[in-house]
A and B are shown apart, each in its own frame.
Chain A
């Protein structure tokens, strides 16, 4: 594999250090709350105004923390931090076109920061919530070991994620197979998927079994 280019085009311009408020604000709310709670722990009681302040600050910290987790957990690195997902995330860097996900990721066709979330969440707020609910179930299965290898998608993949970008693209519409009414109906009714019959598999088989993906 050739070394990654390092010329001026590939070096991010220097930026002034910025405060990551998404991460800082929960801590800012948590610290005074912790002081009040330690006081309550030592004294065994809290005056009502202090109790309310401790309650509000703690709930605010957790509310901000939940927003932070919701936002930051879209990151590809977060998805790859669980052992069972690590090979899948590593396989995204393959440049040999061995999987549909790698083609999208390595060519920058999806955000390289939020690639997993982009394809595995539906559109709108319900899509985001559905993806987060699925993520919580992933954590439950990771904790309990309640998954089988090779990994399989639960249910059918919602190709609305694919069509959201491709359906309006001239190159997609120009393909003869995409112009057939039967194919279009099958795609829209989700009885036909993009992968399998016509296109590459989404992820390489060896990555789904916990092995290393192609590099």
Chain B
């Protein structure tokens, strides 16, 4: 098979495996939907003064999209690749002529496609249930932001497998890494309720700048074109660091052997 055909072959099977796995469908696809419904029903009628009286539901659509992208990429890859490593699936692949970049490419493609599916699902849900406008005129900014975020958070997920020693530890270590950042970055709690000092600390890590970029791209009342290059550069810097670590440390044989 040619390289693109091989990549497509691998991607097709990764898609099958993802959609057949109840845990990945629940945590990656359904949980963000549930979060949006819960947060919108609790805080839905409020407005956020510090953000120009934007409705809370309008705030939560890009917030939950941020969570959905991180789930589809960092969380999904860190857990999925650790499981494949510990079960010997990576080792088996190493004994075949499959180039390792194709294996990773299939997983990466899967994550990016799931992130795109979530963009559609969450945007439509916001539009239909909460009348949150879909920013058609800013779609280039939305897609570029999504692409940079998905690539960077994917690289970070693969890099994280280095510090995950076992299959059992994978969900715990991954969630301990992202859950506090969701809270501190204004993904779960509107940023108007979070002290500036905390937001500044969160801004060093990649989730906060990605959320800010996504918010600017998605909410029509923000100033500018929707491209937040400064925030995106910070996200991309984390992504490049993750990619370098991933390439240097990715291990193909089980740690537990």
> Do A and B interact?
no
